């Protein structure tokens, strides 16, 4: 006979639990994870498409005098145009940067190339004046890629490898994927080698690179041609050329700005509570919609923050009067607030919005905070 007792744990063991329960639980967990992932993706897309962010970005671009944002993906700038535009940029930078006595220079090196079984081997002697003291702001390899093979469907990948010496083990430095329509024409490519060049200068050795073009089906393309390969090193020489450890651009921003305004010092020091100038590093490539700017790679825009006690660093006589009124009756006027009192322009180099083969240099007004005051 069957179990006639009241349903108990002993009777329940006579009937194994259905395997559908853990499956159902796993399905519920999977649905929850998918919902959370979709919500996060939607939130990210919403933040990127935020109307306020788009309006701010458009206003900044309009201040530069651009009708539309240039598309770096369509740029095809020659090495000759690259050197011409950078020479103009450096000249204008020297004229506009008051108080900065340091020297910026562009070193361009043309290496040797040799076709090997693995691809094109490139060798560059790093000839940089006073290399033991130079600060490497940026370095890049630029080359013209062409091919003499029959057109093939699918994309190709251009890979750049580095070797410590000729014939030694290689490792991947950077790569570019080029879709089929782009591969059908001569195209200039650029690879960021800032860290590689900095390390190579420290070792006082030549720079050995290997360029390889691979089709999406993993076959190597041997009909490609590399021309005008050039290594461009942007160097900064400090005011004092005493021996020091080489630094990259990220470590320069604060000392760059300090040398620009030695007069009225409003830089924040320590745990400052009063109105002072704070550092705000801006890297254009990290800002959506601003990757069309080539130089500067990064700069210290600065911002003002802090308390404004009575009579502390007034921007003008009105600030003193406002502070007095606030002390007498806080309902009549607010306390003076910390705000920029001196701004400076920013020279920038960027892709021409109307010609994919050209670069332009322009002056961006009021883009750097030099001093702060209470107003």
- Would you put residue 65 in left (φ > 0), alpha (ψ -120 to 50) or beta? left
**Percent of the chain at pLDDT above 90?**
24
The better pLDDT of the pair 47, 173 is held by: 173
Q: What is the DSSP string of 301-360?
A: --EEE-B--TTSSBSSHHHHHHHHHHHH-TTTSPPP-EEEEEEEEEEEEEE-SS-TT-EE
Q: Kindly state the tokens that stand for 369.
A: 């905070």
Q: Nearest to residue 222, comparing CAs of 143, 116, 142, 122?
A: 116
The better pLDDT of the pair 19, 23 is held by: 23
Q: How confident is the model at residue 131 (pLDDT cuts 50, 70, 90)?
A: low
3-state secondary structure (DSSP) of residue 279: coil
DSSP code for 362: E
pLDDT of residue 140: 92
Q: How confident is the model at residue 245 (pLDDT cuts 50, 70, 90)?
A: very low
Alpha-carbon distance of 212 to 173, in angstroms, equals 12
Question: Using an 8 Å Cβ cutoff, are 358 and 81 in contact?
Answer: yes
DSSP code for 267: B
Question: In this model, does residue 183 exceed pLDDT 70?
Answer: no
pLDDT of residue 285: 86
DSSP code for 117: S
Question: In this model, does residue 85 exceed pLDDT 90?
Answer: yes
Q: How high does pLDDT run on average in the chain? A: 78
User: Do 260-374 and 101-237 fall under one CATH topology?
Assistant: no
Q: Which fold has domain 101-237?
A: Jelly Rolls (2.60.120)
3-state secondary structure (DSSP) of residue 19: coil
Angle (CA) 343-359-184 rounded to 5° is 145
Question: In this model, does residue 254 exceed pLDDT 50?
Answer: no
Q: Which fold has domain 260-374?
A: 2.10.90
Give residue-wise pLDDT tens across range 149-162.
665 667 788 889 99
Q: Where are the domains of the chain?
A: 101-237, 260-374
Question: Using an 8 Å Cβ cutoff, are 294 and 362 in contact?
Answer: no
How much is the average pLDDT of 240-268?
49
Give residue-wise pLDDT tens across range 207-228.
888 888 887 766 666 677 888 8
Question: In this model, does residue 100 exceed pLDDT 60?
Answer: no
3-state secondary structure (DSSP) of residue 174: strand
pLDDT of residue 227: 84
Which of these ranges, 74-78, 219-223, 229-233, 287-291, has the smallest mean pLDDT?
Answer: 219-223
DSSP code for 249: G
Q: Nearest to residue 64, comparing CAs of 290, 231, 251?
A: 290
Q: How confident is the model at residue 191 (pLDDT cuts 50, 70, 90)?
A: very high
Q: Nearest to residue 118, comparing CAs of 225, 214, 217?
A: 214
> How far is the first Cα of the chain from the last one, in angstroms, to the nearest whole number?
95
Question: Using an 8 Å Cβ cutoff, are 79 and 145 in contact?
Answer: no
Q: Nearest to residue 160, comparing CAs of 170, 145, 142, 173?
A: 173
Question: In this model, does residue 348 exceed pLDDT 80?
Answer: yes
The better pLDDT of the pair 140, 116 is held by: 140
Q: How confident is the model at residue 94 (pLDDT cuts 50, 70, 90)?
A: confident
How much is the average pLDDT of 284-288?
86
Q: How confident is the model at residue 293 (pLDDT cuts 50, 70, 90)?
A: very high
């Amino acid at each position: 006979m069957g179990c006639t007792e009241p349903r108990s744990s002993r009777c329940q063991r006579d009937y194994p639990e259905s395997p559908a329960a853990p499956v159902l639980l796993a399905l519920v967990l999977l649905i929850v994870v998918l919902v959370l992932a979709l919500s996060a993706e939607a939130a990210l897309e919403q933040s990127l498409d935020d109307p306020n962010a788009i309006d701010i970005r458009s206003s900044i671009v309009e201040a530069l005098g651009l009708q539309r944002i240039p598309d770096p993906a369509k740029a095809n700038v020659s090495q000759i145009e690259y050197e011409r535009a950078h020479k103009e940029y450096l000249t204008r930078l020297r004229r506009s940067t008051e108080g900065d006595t340091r020297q910026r220079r562009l070193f361009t090196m043309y290496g040797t190339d040799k076709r090997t079984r693995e691809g094109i081997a490139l060798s560059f002697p790093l000839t940089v004046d006073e290399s033991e003291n130079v600060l490497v702001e940026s370095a890049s390899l630029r080359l013209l890629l062409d091919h003499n093979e029959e057109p093939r469907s699918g994309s190709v990948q251009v890979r750049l490898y580095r070797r410590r010496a000729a014939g030694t083990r290689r490792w991947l430095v950077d790569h570019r994927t080029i879709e089929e329509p782009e591969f059908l024409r001569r195209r200039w490519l650029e690879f960021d080698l800032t860290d590689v060049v900095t390390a190579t200068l420290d070792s006082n050795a030549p720079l050995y690179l290997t360029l390889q073009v691979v089709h999406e089906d993993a076959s190597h393309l041997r009909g490609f041609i590399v021309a005008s390969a050039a290594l461009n090193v942007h160097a900064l020489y400090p005011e004092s050329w005493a021996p020091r450890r080489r630094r990259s651009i990220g470590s320069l921003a604060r000392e760059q700005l300090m040398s620009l305004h030695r007069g009225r010092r409003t830089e924040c020091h320590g745990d400052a509570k009063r109105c002072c100038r704070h550092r705000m590093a801006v890297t254009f490539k990290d800002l959506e919609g601003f990757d069309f700017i080539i130089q500067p790679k990064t700069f210290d825009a600065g911002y003002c923050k802090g308390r404004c006690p009575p009579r502390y660093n007034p921007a003008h006589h009105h600030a003193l009067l406002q502070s007095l009124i606030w002390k007498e009756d806080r309902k009549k006027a607010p306390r003076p607030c910390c705000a920029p009192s001196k701004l400076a322009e920013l020279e920038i180099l960027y892709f021409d919005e109307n010609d994919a083969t050209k670069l332009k240099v322009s002056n961006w007004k009021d883009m750097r905070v030099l001093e702060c005051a209470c107003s």
